[in-house]
Structure 1
Amino acid sequence: MGFIDTVRDVLAASNASPARGGAGDESAGAYWCHDCDERIRDVDAPGDGTPDCPACGDAMEFERSAASTGCAC
């Protein structure tokens, strides 16, 4: 059963963390401009408010990450 144990260990390690960012990444989602397809992660957004789209200047919309309830995909 060595092969099956190895496959099981590899699968368990690949699913160990649902977070898709770097270690210590506390992102709750991202700001999107759907018209321009621009995305800024909340942890990368400048300032404390809703950022403006760098392409068109309109206010961006916040959406939760796929790791939280309510996917932003």
Structure 2
Amino acid sequence: MGIIDTVSSALSTDAENDDVDVDASRGAYWCDDCGVRVRDVNVDEEGFDRDAEGAPLCPDCGDAMRFERAYEDGCAC
């Protein structure tokens, strides 16, 4: 059963890592015109510029992006 235990362990580790990311995220920023989306926890990491209020600017059109909260299932998608 070594292979089954290894696969189970790998799958449970991935699920645990996903939960950590989901818990840290409160939602995502969207550009309605361009369809660009970035999770709130990735804005700085991906190098998005920000406007005076702190909202990220769309890299395609330069407009401020709209914040949308995560749904109850914890997904910021």
Structure 2 length normalisation: TM-score?
0.52
Q: Does 1:61 align with 2:66?
A: yes
Gaps of 5+ in 2: none
Partner of 2:2: 2
Percent identity (aligned) = 48
CA RMSD of aligned residues (A): 3.0
Gaps of 5+ in 1: 21-25
Task: Tell me: higher relative CO, structure 1 or 2? Use CA pairs within 8 A at least 6 residues apart.
Answer: 2
Structure having the higher Rg: 1
Q: Does 1:12 align with 2:15?
A: no
Partner of 1:31: 29
Number of residues paired by the alignment?
65
